[in-house]
Structure 1
């Protein structure tokens, strides 16, 4: 399967403190850029054995461009039929502007829905505020009826996109419990904000929270009330391929198209160092080959006994975002990688 992420706009009704886009430009993606980006994705999907394409819509707040999204999906459906490609859609939203029209569209195309929410009202509102400075939690809760109807009609679970930051990591366990028990999310993907440096004390605390969630996950699993927690999938990778991690596949299995038409490997690095082409000229094969080659060559990891089984070292875009080179990795993630590995060794038999 080939994945394309389309940044359809840089407009938003929130001002989240950790937004990976930083200061948004209020730009909107043009039809021409979208078509050219999709052509690259379709051509790659045609070369994949399963002939499958995953199209992911993001913003800003992507749903503020609903008319554009509707037009794009109509175009994609026509191209998929002509090319015999199976297409799956997903969209990330802050969950504050859902209405009957949006719900009907999401249901019609069975678009996988990811809602950004960080926990209970106090935790969520620390970082996810509206333009007027007021927290956005209440706006999401007002739309819970749409979430329930979506899951009922599509038979698909909504994913809670939960971001762990330096000002809320101590509430990670409580946040996951709230999302699962109070808001009835069956999928919670907890990700770490790596835009800022963490201290070892903070990462130790986060590892303790990670372990609490693991125990909670196992307890619910044993009771027949399992939910899917994203980091579980990461931990299980330690047991795959004899524990050895491989190339991330940047450009080969996924691309991220910026609103201005530049192509990136993924959202982990949207700086110039992460650019691997543009929709006018296509992917830079030389750039991808160079990144892949450098990723395999000796670097700061060559003297690390943990390197073979390390997942973080192969996140090329994270390394580029941190240091501007592939060979120098974010030490915070190196430290936390060992913490995760320890958790795997303890809990693997139960996972």
Structure 2
């Protein structure tokens, strides 16, 4: 499968404290750029053995470019049908602009849907607010009926993305419970790498991860289908070896920004990660050079979790924070150690063997 992330608009109706975009360009992707981008990625999908293309439509807030979204899907459907390519769609939205027309479209095209929600009203509104400073929580949860309609019609589960920051980390367990109690079954948590995670906050993070893990495992043992990607990904890494730069972003994926520049997975202010342009195509030599990069940062050499750590291999984040593709982002490193230490203390020998066999089977089937 080939993965395309298309930035349809670089603008948003909100001003989240931790927004990775920083200052917005307030630009809309042109239809010519959309078409050329789709052509490039369909050409890559044709090379894949399974002839599949996964298209993620993002912003800013992509629903501000809803007409562009519909145009992109209709165009991609037609082009993929001509080439014998199976196409799948997903999007990440803040939920505030969602309406029935949009949801009917997502249902019809069988989108995978992800909504940003950081927790309860007081927690969510700490960081996710409109340009006038007012919180967005109520406008998101008001869409719960639409989300349930989507889940019933598609048989899919809407995912929630929440960001763990210094100003909400003390409510992490409560956040997991709140999102679960709202009826969501898929949760993707990510830590804010731009915060300065000093010792007091790391202690809070450690305590809250342990408490949230206990709640999660209890629900799993009760037979609940709740799936917390943050923990599940760490479990898989803990019991299997992880390659450096294992995602191979750039080889099987492209991120195309609103200006038509092609990057590995997100826009980075460095020409080394610019792997193409919609009017010129991909730059194979640059992609090959990135994929070949293999090294170990000196301070990682003696870490007992070295072969299980995916944090050290995210070369984009490493460069963005440290200016060095091999130097891991400190909070990602510490987060990994916190979770792995927790596994070591909480998973018994019998469970450990079961987990290891399970992930070995999973990897052999990939």
Fold shared, TM-score > 0.5 on shorter chain? yes
Residue 5 of structure 2 contacts residue 256 of structure 2 at CA under 8 Å; is this kept in 1? yes
Secondary structure of the residue aligned to 2:9 is coil
Q: Work out whether 1:63 is the aligned partner of 2:63.
A: yes
1:257 deviation in Å?
A: 0.8
Length, aligned pairs only: 347
* Residues 1:14 and 1:345: Cα distance change in structure 2 (over 3 Å): same
* CA RMSD of superposed structures (Å): 1.8
**What is the deviation of 1:88?**
0.9
Shift of 1:238: 2.0
Instruction: For 1:347 and 1:270, locate their aligned partners in 2 and report how far apart those are by CA, in whole Å.
Output: 39
Alignment of 1:190-205 (within 5 A): 190-205=189-204
Residue equivalent to 2:250: 251
For 2:213, the equivalent position in structure 1 comes to 214
Partner SS for 1:15? coil
Gap regions ≥5 residues in structure 2: 356-366
Q: Following TM superposition, by how much is the alpha carbon of 1:233 offset from its aligned partner in structure 2, in angstroms?
A: 2.8
Residue matched to 2:297: 299
Map 1:64-83 → 2, pairs under 5 A: 64-83=64-83
Q: How do residues 1-351 of structure 1 correspond to structure 2 at under 5 angstroms?
A: 1-181=1-181, 183-239=182-238, 242-246=240-244, 247-267=246-266, 270-272=268-270, 274-294=273-293, 296-301=294-299, 303-306=301-304, 307-347=306-346, 349=351
Question: How far apart are the structure 2 equivalents of 1:347 and 1:280?
Answer: 53
Structure 1 residues 37 and 300 mapped into 2: Cα distance closer, same or farther (>3 Å)?
A: farther
Q: Distance in 1 between matches of 2:172 and 2:274?
A: 33
Q: Say if 1:2 and 1:54, in contact at 8 Å, map to a contact too.
A: yes
Query: TM-score, length-normalised on structure 2?
Result: 0.90
TM-score (structure 1 length as normaliser) = 0.93
How many Å separate the matches in 2 of 1:347 and 1:189? 22
Measure how far apart 1:248 and its partner are.
Answer: 2.3
Q: CA deviation at 1:239?
A: 4.6
Structure 1: 5+ residue stretches without partners: none
Deviations 1:17-43 (A, max 9, x none): 111111111100111211222222212
SS at match of 2:292: helix
Counterpart secondary structure, 2:36? helix
